[in-house]
A = this chain, B = another copy of it.
Amino acid sequence: MKKILVVEDDAAIRTGLAEALAREHYLVDTASDGETGSLKGSAKDVDLIILDLMLPVMNGEEVCRALREKGISTPILILSSKREETSKVLGLELGADDYVTKPFSLLELQARIKAILRRQKKSGDKIDEFAFGNVKLDFKKHEMTRRGKQVKLTEREFKVLKYMIEHKGEVVTREMLLDEVWGYENFPTTRTVDNYILSIRHKIEDAPSRPKFILTVHTAGYKFTC
């Protein structure tokens, strides 16, 4: 779960923002002045700082600069009012990553937050091809072939299968799948998982009722082997 620090002195905006972000399943911390903002912003577990420019004690500009000088590279999104817009060249010189001018729409802010966080997660070692048995998978193309014949998989089926493959040999619990594939926003029954396993088996196994690849580990979960 991503953690966002909101540094804003106006209580109404601060709590409003905090609530809105919490509703979007972010972890939210707040600070009402620049100094505590700078302090809290130095923590390593913060994924994004939303920073008002006009702040008591220490203004946003200073906070920004201070953080960067400390070598903190946490993304910073600046909230500025129209007046300040022209003076600061978009916080570029301050080391901010993005800016939104007040009054802003919540929708826009959320979109930008998403964009920033999306950029953060590095595209490290992802598999995009995998083969086993008579099945070949291409995650990038969203394609699966079995004995050379194309088989259609649902997006969710793809994700489940991919997760299983990424943990091949290990027992994967239903809870793990629900957390990682379904995410925090959805809370389906654990039976839902079973059903997806079922339909995946139908597509990858020669004898779905006697599976060779996705094995059931009774009272624990499932295991992918090949």
Contact = CB atoms under 8 A, between A and B. Distances in A.
A64 to B, nearest CB: 11
Contacts of A99: 105
Contacts of A184: 98, 112, 115
Interface stretch (A37-45, A191-199, A212-220): A212-220
Given A20-B92, A141-B223, A155-B218, A119 B98 contact: no
Contact of A89 (B12, B90, B91): B12
How many chain copies does the complex carry?
Answer: 2
A179 to B, nearest CB: 7
A105 B98 contact: yes
Given A98-B184, A154-B219, A155-B220, A105 B90 contact: yes
A84 interface: no
Interface string A170-186: 11000100010000100
B142 A23 contact: no
Interface size class on chain A is 35 or more
Interface string A3-35: 000000010110111011001000000000000
A135 B96 CA distance: 44
Contacts of A90: 103-106
A116 B107 contact: yes
Contacts of A218: 154-155
Interface of A: 10, 12-13, 15-17, 19-20, 23, 68, 73, 85, 89-99, 103-108, 110-112, 115-116, 118-119, 140-142, 154-156, 169-171, 175, 179, 184, 187, 217-220, 223
The 6 A-B residue pairs with the shortest CB-CB distance, nearest first, are: A16-B93, A16-B92, A155-B219, A98-B107, A98-B105, A111-B187
Given A20-B95, A142-B217, 15 more contacts: A10-B89, A12-B89, A16-B92, A16-B94, A23-B68, A97-B105, A98-B107, A107-B112, A107-B116, A112-B184, A115-B184, A141-B171, A154-B219, A155-B218, A155-B220
